[in-house]
Chains A and B, each alone.
Chain A
Amino acid sequence: MMIFGWVMQVSWAQSDPSGKRRVTSSFAITNATVIKSPGDIGSKATVLFKDGIITGIGAGLSIPKDAKVISGDSLFVYPAFIDGGSNIGISEPMDDESTKDFNSSNPPDELAGITPWRMATDFYSSASNEVDEWRKVGFAMSQVIPEGGMLPGKTALVSLGDPKNIAIIQANVAMAANFRGSRGMYPGTVAGVMAKFRDVYQNSILALEHEKLFASVAGVKRPQTTPTQLAMAPVVQKQLPILFTANSELEARRAISLQKELGFKLILTGLENYESVIDLIKSSGTSVMIKLQVPDDKAIKSQKEEGVTEATKAQYARVKEAYDQSLKQAANLEKAGVSFGFSTLDTKASNVHKALSTMIANGLSEKAALAALTTNPASVLGISRIAGTLEKGKLANLILTTEPLFKESSQIKHVIVDGYVFDYEVKKKSNSAPNSSATPENSENSVEGVWDYVSETPAGSSGGEITIKKENGVLGGSISYDDPAGSGKASAPIKNVTVTGKNLKFEFDVSAGGMSFTVTVSGEVNGKSMEGTLSLPQMGSFPFNATLSSPSQLN
């Protein structure tokens, strides 16, 4: 809490009249609880990173001089999330105009949604609001899928980082595919799409054969490989997987049956209903990205208890059963031993936390949930070497939360992408005590008890407990705070406690690095809450909020 001494650095040769350029690319998160990988129980450590790469994790690491320190006191550090399939920041391609001799039964590939040569990178904008929305909830990377028809183009892995940076991590990750027909032309339905898919695939193989023969034998007619066949070459050579968007069980089966027939590498994404295909996913070894979403509970909540017939009750029960089963799917996937990632396709960022906590409440282990957000997609996307866990040498993609990640009240305070720190507002906790019985008449008495506090400082939020009690007619007590030395909480007695009307004021001494400060806290008390400031000599004042969590029962 005490650490505000950011290091002044010699300026770069270039000026920045906006004054916004960051002064260092080196950071140290100190004294945070660090969870390096799924299943890790977490331990207090310092995380160092520079130029977007983690340079060290561990207790007792010395903080480089150029490092800006982020106080991790009371915070939890996790690897940032990886989105297995999304359309974050992706814009739609321009509509193609019909050609003159357009024939709906045999349209050009481009009109029929067959554009495998397209690349998501051409349609991605890191300045999109969506990038910030998803980063805010913890995502640092996403596999972005181009918009379009049955073969819209190649996906890309992007970093959801600072828009000034190059976002593309890898341009051609997978070939996207959909069971989506083209309106008013061939293929128009999922039946047509499957047939056309086979056609495209087989002819791409033949085109390669043709090219091979042409390259080795004289007298062979010139190959006329189409852009589609050219783009599909790495797919049929099994170098590039197909990323099939499949919402339902039947779509998943269709994709897997095409895979079995043709032999390409397959990743399924966007799975929403998949209970009955879990075994098939497992036995076929298909990689899956399930939709990071739980069904809307509006229907469940609108079910009435009274005034409904037995028949209606039976119907309700079926909907409830379907709802419950839907929530358990992820857990069942884990139980079956399938490693899965998440896809954010057609989901809302604001629902992520709820989706995760609901899945966990319905049996998904926290370990598997974290794996689905980190190591599993990293593995499927082939980036385990650089991402998915917190390790020295990996990308500095991490998130800092106020509480353990999957706790209901946990909030994300920082997301670090490529070593860039993004700060997010943390709402104060409103854990008002039950049976509020504050007596505002006696303001002096009303401050007695144990307070929880949070203080917002440039290095992040910090908090602890304040105990105020009257001893021999004088108010006194103690305060706990994040030890600046980096070893959990420290505590100090409070002094000069005064209550004037609604105002509470006190001081306490803190020593750090051989120095000693006196910290002054003052604020207005309303019932059980206090809002005010925390002041440090020569450093300024910072917001301070506290709640009387257990009022003293002495009076």
Chain B
Amino acid sequence: MNRILVLFCMTWIALLPSVGMAQIDGEFVKPRTGKFLLKNATVVTVTKGTLSNASVLLENGKIIGVGASLPSEGAEIIDCSGLFIYPGMIDGGTRLGLVEVSSVPETVDYSDVGNVTPNMQALTTVNPNSEAIGVTRVSGVTTVLTVPSGGLFPGTAALINLNGYTPDQMYGGFKAVAMTFPSSGRRGRFDRRSEEDIKEDGEKALKEANEIWDNAKSYLELKKSGAELSYFPEMEQLSKVLSGELPLLIEVNAASDILSAIQWVEGKNIKVIFTGVAEGWRVAEQIAKAKIPVVTGPVQDLPTRQSDRYDTPYANAGKLAKAGVKVALRTDEEENVRNLPFHAAFAAAYGLGKEEAWKAVTINPAEIFGVADQYGSVEVGKKANLIVSTGDPFETRSQILHVFIDGYRIPLSNRHIRLYQEFLERSPGLKAN
């Protein structure tokens, strides 16, 4: 039996109260909070270096101590000798919780009808019980930005912690309005538009975006002047971007579009985050100069052009960082957000370096999203989002042994794991009847 299974079993036996109800067998392990002392680990704080033989004390959802000798009174002690503690990872762009089975339209909720729907709230539709959430968090990804997509202003993204029974319990304190910047790229193999048509479509879309922007500007100005405006939820939400209340997440990927987006943003005096930025490496200097932070990914992706070197998507984050851009990573995934550490590893191996790669999935997204006081490192006072692993969590051979989200100790189980437990040694095995 392998290590991980042993660990599951140990956890189960320890927690198993005797249950004697008919039709129900065994016990469900729930997330639970309390005071925990994670003892004698190597603590990778990300922001304050790596501490050997250090402990981390958690209480009331917060990290209340990081150091060599911490008081253990009242705390459940978890021996972490030989283990590593990292901050929980943050995925800067996903559709987690917004979709259950992507080919079944009834379960797809990240996109609504209309081109300008900034009032659509991702947080509303997050399904706290999505199977994908349980599958994701055991990988060490504890927090994600979940983003609507589709039209020009598809909706408002929300930062969520991967624990909780209601969206509000999950909410991580950051929202932003998403924008799909008019694109000069092809949407896929079936996009057979001529070069002229693509250009024309792009210009038309930008013109429309400007008109809508002007509309929102008028809305804000009139509102500020105390005018009684008729109900217009789209403009209401968009005006929050103009007023600086909400940042704008601009999805932009082709190099020329990135340059237009930089130009478009100029003088608007709004908070902007670029997302995607697949061809960012081509214009890294300009992005750095514009001081716009970037959430890039997926890292494991194909080059955008046939002529591009095979590893351009792997190397993109590294090149952006080298140019001075603040970079966070994303998977842009729904069910496989769990691969974030591996995307980070590829970025690390192809130029970003391990240390920067760690920042790109912890403190950088926290800073970009303005929640660095709560997230992104193992520091006293921050939210107790952290993981304990047997080694570098970016390596597939490492096992994540404990996950804490919001101070809750998360049971290391989900449907994938339960199926493993049931079917590894199926009974009956091979026999008819």
Distance in Å: Cβ of A304 to nearest Cβ of chain B: 15
Chain B window 292-310, contacts with chain A (Cβ cutoff 8 Å), 1 for yes, 0 for no:
0000000000000001000
CA distance A315 to B282 in the complex (A): 14
Mask, A301-324, CB within 8 Å of B = 1, is 000000000010001001000000
Nearest B residue to A311 via CB reads B282
Q: Which of chain B's residues have a CB closer than 8 A to the CB of A311?
A: 282
A-B contacts counted at CB < 8 A amount to 3
Chain A proximity of B315: nearest CB distance (Å): 14
Instruction: Specify which chain A residues have a CB less than 8 angstroms from the CB of B282 in the assembled complex.
Output: 311
- CB neighbours (8 Å) of B307 from chain A are 315, 318
A450 to B96, CA, bound (A): 86
| Smallest Cβ-Cβ distance to A314: which chain B residue | B307
What residue of chain B has the Cβ atom nearest to residue A309's Cβ? B282
> In the complex, what's the smallest C-beta–C-beta distance from A323 to chain B, in angstroms?
16
Per the bound structure, the CA–CA distance linking A315 and B255 in Å amounts to 16
Output the nearest chain A residue to B282 by Cβ-Cβ distance. Answer: A311
What size tier do the contact residues of chain A reach?
A: under 10
Measured CB to CB, the closest approach of chain B to A316, in angstroms, equals 11
Closest to A315 in B: B307
Closest to A318 in B: B307
- Whole-angstrom distance between the Cβ of B314 and the nearest chain A Cβ: 18
Q: Could you tell me the distance in whole angstroms from the C-beta of B202 to the nearest C-beta in chain A? A: 19
Interface residues of A in 379-400 (CB under 8 A from B): none
Interface size on B, residues (CB 8 A): 2
**How far is it, in angstroms, between the C-alpha of A165 and the C-alpha of B303 when the chains are bound?**
60
* A318 and B307 alpha carbons, distance in the complex (Å): 10
B-chain residues with CB within 8 Å of residue A315 when the two chains form the complex: 307
Q: How far is the CB of B278 from chain A (nearest CB, A)?
A: 16
User: Which residues of B sit under 8 angstroms from A318, Cβ to Cβ?
Assistant: 307
- Closest chain A residue to B307 by CB distance? A315
Chain A contact residues, majority secondary structure: helix
| Interchain nearest-CB distance for A308 vs B (Å) | 13
Give the docked Cα–Cα distance between A311 and B308 (Å): 10
**Interfacial residues of chain B within 239-257, with CB under 8 A of chain A in the complex:** none
Contact with B along A237-279 (1 / 0, CB 8 A): 0000000000000000000000000000000000000000000
Q: Tell me the bound Cα distance from A448 to B307 in angstroms.
A: 62
| A window 442-494: CB within 8 A of B | none
Which residues of B from 272 to 323 have beta carbons under 8 Å from A?
282, 307
A457-B137 Cα distance, complex, nearest whole Å? 92
Shortest C-beta distance, A247 to chain B (Å), equals 17
Q: Tell me the bound Cα distance from A315 to B305 in angstroms.
A: 11
What's the Cα separation between A315 and B307 when bound, in Å?
A: 8
In angstroms, Cα B307 to Cα A311, docked, is 10
Report the nearest A residue to B305, measured CB to CB.
A315
In the assembled complex, the Cα of A333 lies from the Cα of B307 at a distance in Å of 29
A311 CA to B282 CA in the complex, in Å?
10
- The smallest beta-carbon distance between A42 and chain B, in angstroms, is 46
Shortest distance between the CB of B282 and any CB in chain A (Å)? 8
| A49→B307 CA distance, assembly (Å) | 59
Complex alpha-carbon distance, A416 and B307, angstroms: 51
For window 276-316 of chain A, which residues contact chain B by CB distance below 8 Å? 311, 315
In angstroms, how far is the closest chain B Cβ from the Cβ of A188?
16
How many Å lie between the Cα of A272 and that of B282 in the bound state? Answer: 34
Distance (whole angstroms) from the CB of B194 to the closest CB of chain A? 12
A420 to B282, alpha carbons, bound, how many Å?
Answer: 64
Return A183 CB to nearest CB of chain B, in Å: 15
**Distance in angstroms between the alpha carbons of A218 and B307 in the assembled complex:** 68
Contact residues of A between 495 and 554, Cβ < 8 Å to B: none
A318 CA / B306 CA spacing, docked (Å): 12
In the bound assembly, the distance between CA atoms of A435 and B70 in angstroms comes to 97
Nearest CB in chain A to that of B308: its residue: A311
Residues 407-433 of B at the A interface (beta carbon under 8 Å): none
Give Cα A356–Cα B215 distance, bound, in whole angstroms.
Answer: 58
Q: How far is the CA of A521 from the CA of B282 in the complex (A)?
A: 70
Q: How far is the CA of A216 from the CA of B282 in the complex (A)?
A: 77
Distance from A35 Cβ to chain B, minimum over Cβ atoms (Å): 43
Q: Which chain B residues (211-235) contact chain A, with CB distance < 8 Å?
A: none
B5-45 interface (Cβ within 8 A of A): none
B341 CB to nearest chain A CB (Å)? 32
Q: Measured between C-beta atoms, what is the minimum distance from B310 to chain A in Å?
A: 16
Complex Cα gap A35–B432 (Å): 88
* Nearest CB of chain A from residue B229's CB, rounded to whole Å: 47
Distance (whole angstroms) from the CB of B422 to the closest CB of chain A: 41
Least distance between A70 CB and chain B CB atoms (Å): 48
The minimal Cβ–Cβ distance linking A51 to chain B, given in whole angstroms, is 52
B97 to chain A, nearest CB (A): 39
CA of A418 to CA of B282, assembled, Å: 63
- In angstroms, Cα B308 to Cα A318, docked, is 13
Q: Chain B nearest CB: distance from A290 CB in Å?
A: 26
Per-position contact with A for B321-353: 1 when CB-CB < 8 Å, else 0?
A: 000000000000000000000000000000000
Min CB gap B116→A, angstroms: 36
Roughly how many angstroms separate A311 CA and B255 CA in the complex, as a whole number? Answer: 13
Bound complex: CA of A318 vs CA of B305, how far in Å? Answer: 14
The minimal Cβ–Cβ distance linking A482 to chain B, given in whole angstroms, is: 51
| Shortest distance between the CB of A310 and any CB in chain B (Å) | 12
Give A400 to B307 CA distance when docked, in angstroms: 49
Assembled-state Cα–Cα distance A294/B330 (Å): 47
Complex: how many Å from CA A95 to CA B183?
Answer: 39
Contact with B along A89-101 (1 / 0, CB 8 A): 0000000000000
A431 to B307 Cα, complex, angstroms:
45
Distance to closest chain B CB from A387 (angstroms): 42
Q: Closest CB-CB distance, B4 to chain A, in whole Å? A: 45
Closest CB in chain B relative to A265 CB, distance in Å: 36
| Cα–Cα, bound, A375→B282 (Å) | 54
Nearest Cβ in chain B — how far from A501, in angstroms?
53
- C-alpha spacing A396/B282, complex, angstroms: 64
Q: How far, in Å, is A545 (CB) from chain B's closest CB?
A: 42
Distance, CA A234 to CA B282, complexed state (A): 60
A-facing residues in B88-143 (Cβ within 8 Å): none
The smallest beta-carbon distance between A340 and chain B, in angstroms, is: 31
- Measured between C-beta atoms, what is the minimum distance from A196 to chain B in Å? 25
Tell me the smallest distance from the CB of B365 to a CB of chain A, in Å.
30
How many Å lie between the Cα of A311 and that of B305 in the bound state?
13
Complex Cα distance, B308 from A315, in Å, reads 10
Q: B284 → chain A, closest Cβ, in Å? A: 13
Q: A551–B307 Cα gap in the complex (Å)?
A: 56
- How many angstroms from the CA of A127 to the CA of B162 in the assembled complex? 75
Within 8 A of B (CB), among A309-356: 311, 315, 318
**Chain A proximity of B307: nearest CB distance (Å):** 6
Measured CA separation A115–B333 after assembly (Å):
49
Assembly CA distance A318 to B282 (angstroms): 19
Distance of A228 Cα from B233 Cα, bound (Å): 66
Task: Return the CB mask of A138-151 against B: 1 if under 8 Å, else 0.
Answer: 00000000000000
CB distance from A180 to the nearest CB of B (A): 17
Q: B residues 129-177 with Cβ under 8 Å of A?
A: none
Nearest-CB distance from A518 to chain B (Å)?
62
Listed by A's residue number, 3 A-B pairs whose Cβ atoms lie within 8 Å are A311-B282, A315-B307, A318-B307
Residues on B close to A: CB < 8 A?
282, 307
Residues of chain A whose beta carbon lies under 8 Å from any beta carbon of chain B = 311, 315, 318
Closest 3 CB pairs of A and B: A315-B307, A318-B307, A311-B282
